[in-house]
């Protein structure tokens, strides 16, 4: 029996020291002070909550920025469409005004040349076809 006690004694001491080590790491509801792992777990929860709070705040701000960018892109696209439409209308009006000016200048040239031809024709015929009245 003594020999068994000699072999079991060191084993019992090793188990007791490991038990104390485990209790010091994690009290596991034994009623003692919280162990190292319980404190570390609480600290981990605290910094994880802080990080997730910061991440949530960052995501909220990011969503606002993304919404602004999307709205800005839509506005820019609408501005481009509006400018194209305005340019198309302006080009159409410019073409119509140019056409009117061209027609007016052609008509003006034709009218003035017709007047000149008519004056020349009438003045030549008038002098040739009109009998000269001589008063005696």
In a domain, 106, yes or no: yes
Residue 45 lies in a domain: yes
Rounded to whole angstroms, how far apart are CA atoms 85 and 74? Answer: 16
Establish if 93 belongs to a structural domain.
yes
Tokens at 34, concatenated: 């919280």
Domain that holds residue 89: 9-120
Determine if the pTM surpasses 0.75: no
Q: What is the rounded CA–CA span in Å between residue 77 and residue 15?
A: 75
Q: Does residue 111 lie within any of the structural domains?
A: yes
Whether 128 maps to a domain, the answer reads no
Q: How many domains does the chain have?
A: 1
Residue 49 lies in a domain: yes
Query: Which stretches of the chain score pLDDT less than 70?
Result: 19-35, 37, 124-136
Q: Tokens standing for 110? A: 């034709």
The verdict on residue 125 lying in a domain is no
């Amino acid at each position: 029996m003594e020999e068994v006690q000699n072999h079991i004694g060191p084993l019992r001491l090793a188990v007791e020291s490991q038990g104390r080590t485990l209790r010091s790491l994690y009290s596991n509801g034994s009623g003692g002070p919280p162990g190292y792992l319980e404190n570390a777990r609480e600290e981990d929860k605290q910094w994880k909550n802080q990080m997730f709070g910061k991440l949530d705040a960052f995501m909220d701000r990011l969503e606002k920025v993304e919404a602004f960018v999307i709205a800005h892109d839509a506005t820019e696209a609408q501005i481009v469409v509006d400018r194209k439409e305005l340019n198309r209308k302006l080009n159409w009006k410019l073409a119509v005004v140019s056409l009117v000016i061209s027609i007016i200048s052609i008509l003006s040239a034709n009218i003035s040349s017709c007047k000149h031809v008519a004056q020349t024709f009438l003045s030549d015929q008038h002098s040739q076809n009109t009998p000269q009245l001589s008063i005696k």
